[in-house]
Chains A and B, each alone.
Chain A
Amino acid sequence: MKDILIMILASFGAIFILSSSIGLLRKPDVYLRISVTAKASTLGIGLMLTSAALYFNDYSVTTRIVAIILFVFLTISIGGHLLARAAYFTKTPIWKGTKVDDLAGQYDEVTHELYSEKHNSSIKPEKDTSI
């Protein structure tokens, strides 16, 4: 019974990670790619680590795994935010199908300050029509 549970958890984790790598290949621009990888890997890693905890069935291993899952959940969203912000500063082209872009021109060129009201600066990525 435990074996079957471990198998199910580990294979679901692998499927989630596989789907995120397929998404990485198929998405048209960098922002969608960040979004897709950041999400699928959280549960993928979580399920794989849970199956490891069930396999070892040891107190010290379980506590470490809980700590790893917690830190992965905390850091993945911060990593996604930093990557997307850096991509926006360097004006990485955005996909042409993007419906709304409220962030266009909201960053200050010099101080990199982000405004909440309407602001007009040169930091706006171009629409990429080639993809």
Chain B
Amino acid sequence: MTKSLFLSNLILAIIWVMATGTLTEENFLFGFFISFTILWVITFKKEERKYFTVIPKLLAYIAFIFWEIIKANFQSLKESFYPKSKLEPAIVKVPLDAKTDVEISILSNIISLTPGTLIMDVSDDKKVVYVHVMHLLDKENFIKEIKLKFEKPLLELMR
């Protein structure tokens, strides 16, 4: 359902570009936005309307991930000059709610790119990941934070 709506959205955007006759990025994005609004108006089925909540959520999630990456870099910039006594590294077992291979690989990529964490390995039965943390204050809190911040919105998008 979502795929066919995305395709018709794309086709409408291309038609918009052809009709206006100017092939620039801005015009394509504008056409995409216009056809998105048109489809939003004319779609009535409940399962099809999911598409219109997924696209803004996806954009928000990507923006959030970029913000996290920038924060991670500033943090590791600061940490490079820390003395050793301030470090509290640990390897923590984090149980997974994600089931399929695609979900797990996207999640572990995101975790690897964000503040002070590095994926060590995924267990062979795909139930847990082992994460190396640079600053572990509280184990339970850390697991909860990863699940709430990264895993829950990702699973909402994928399912």
Residues of chain A having any CB pair with chain B under 8 Å: 15-16, 19-20, 22-23, 26-29, 31-32, 34-36, 38-40, 42-44, 73-74, 76-78, 80-81, 84-85, 88, 95, 97-103, 106, 113-116, 131
Verify A114–B80 contact, CB threshold 8 A: no
Closest to B116 in A: A35
Considering the chains assembled together, what is the distance between the CA atoms of A42 and B72 in angstroms?
Answer: 10
Verify A102–B93 contact, CB threshold 8 A: yes
Q: Can you name 28 A-B pairs with beta carbons within 8 Å?
A: A16-B73, A19-B76, A23-B79, A27-B87, A31-B132, A32-B89, A32-B134, A35-B117, A36-B79, A38-B112, A39-B72, A39-B113, A40-B77, A42-B113, A73-B113, A77-B108, A80-B112, A81-B119, A98-B89, A99-B88, A101-B90, A103-B91, A106-B123, A113-B124, A114-B124, A115-B123, A115-B124, A116-B123
Q: Is the interface of A mostly helix, strand, loop or mixed?
A: helix
Considering the chains assembled together, what is the distance between the CA atoms of A80 and B114 in angstroms?
Answer: 13
Verify A102–B77 contact, CB threshold 8 A: no
Question: Which of B77, B80, B112, B136 is close to A77, meaning CB atoms less than 8 Å apart?
Answer: B112
Least CB distance from B75 to A in Å reads: 8
Q: How many residues of B contact A (CB 8 A)?
A: 39
Verify B124–A97 contact, CB threshold 8 A: no
Given A40-B76, A80-B118, A114-B124, also A31-B93 (CB < 8 A): no
Verify A102–B91 contact, CB threshold 8 A: yes
- Chain B residues with Cβ below 8 Å from A131 are 84
- Chain A residues with Cβ below 8 Å from B113 are 39, 42, 73, 76-77
